[in-house]
Structure 1
């Protein structure tokens, strides 16, 4: 197998490092705008050099972002090349188009690294789906936010201090918005539910609340209540082809499995009608863990395993978050429009309310209180 590698950043360099120690998969060309020592003639700044190279049968897209990554993936498939990617943002936005392009051009598409990094989640989800009826997917899918939450609750550091520590350790980007605002988790949840529920959801319809506004007061209230806070995603099937789907900070009991997930680890889960709930815990991001998932996909393709493991159904998944609800912790200086008990200065516990209503009401609160924060409460 000869591959064209798009992007020599953190993950791309990890893939290159692993493949250089193997003899079965050759990096024929590398696309990157920078001068990178040691690549010689394999380095190019022109995508067409990879597209027009007939010896390259698989393109590995590790550029990130929407464009030109999306364009290059589609053009590669139309040129008869397989594609492997770790780009969850691009896949979540263009899921249906990419799968249909793969099918119509009789090429393979693999995305194991998009959800869970080095955790073998997608592989096991697809395997379970062949037999089981998947009811729910979700869990802790972002290591950066888990590290920030764990640091704040274990050491008492403030949000900015915990964020800077995560950046110093290399787990948070210079611009952490995708992580702390929930965009990364939303993209991963969208991909997981598409695969699990055999359809296509609009990622922009997944209600998402990040942790940007979390404060030390909130952490103290969580401890007084006897809860731990984790950043959770959740998508569950409803009757008639619809589903609930949302991402939000959530208070869980100290003995809940999620409370035991520390530092930057992930715990990604699914529930089947037959096999019940299964959890997968480990490094959900990072250079070599994610690179391992990418190389694993390449090995599968090289050995012609599971050439087309994905659905081509394309049926839309309607998202209805009015059908799911629970209590919420809310901190706001604005007038709360949901029945609630006051537990601290500007802090409240609401009565059970739908996810849709709470997320909509939070937008109303932030008109006068931009720093308002809320977290779901899982009482069981």
Structure 2
């Protein structure tokens, strides 16, 4: 099973995070229309489309609403280019208190309600959010899908094994029975009756297995510290239209576990908190006051620096004047005369001139010590 990370901060309980993919064109128009519709209906308090940065293909939208009278939720949805002209969306929302899964899904505040929504796809493998995803028949593809699912940090992935081929009553997605706050964060994989062995073989490295006719909530990566495969597996799931209470309880418990944010989720939360633009009049006034206080503090610091600089300059001028007064009557020290280059050459030649006592060499054949001939 993947080890959990203890170094990274945990996702705050006030935060709701999700990522998905909108297939095809028209993502921006769908978000604009939905926000306008809910604003006119009074479902949300206000909404804003942020101006696009120059040269950036990303688009961002903000919305604010109250799921209950005393709590405000602030949310930002960002659209970025995806493969084949699709758009990858990232949604970060934060409430003023711990998130209640009974509150409406933030995804419903930005995206239209459709039976098969173009926006309702998992960002990774393109699986369907809040729907059914039959596992591929090819075992290689099956292993790839489950490997990607096990690594997912954005969505909760659930594998359900069909003990026998279900009828229409057994094809109701699990998301339809989950609290609203979980519906767009769950990917349900369905394994056909004959695929159980291949599924458990693909999951062997995680140290978990799917019971026959049961279900398993995958740990994700990194796994929550409190994750235990036995605690999040369900022995029997009756796909007969009855309420899968044990499975919905397992998924809800898993979603409540403290865990580090997924890749890029921390950055999305930071932008939501530090670059929030959709301000109320009271918030705009508070921000203006903060700016005034900040500018006043900066001006005071600049004035103080100027005064200190002026004081230091005056002290330096006084010290220089005192020094000049102290040394003003002293004669300047004489510098030793320096010989000219011609004089230096003459002195060198004189040192090299032979002494008058130096003997000259004798003519050839004579020795200087030989007696003078008679």
TM-score (norm 2): 0.22
TM-score (norm 1): 0.22
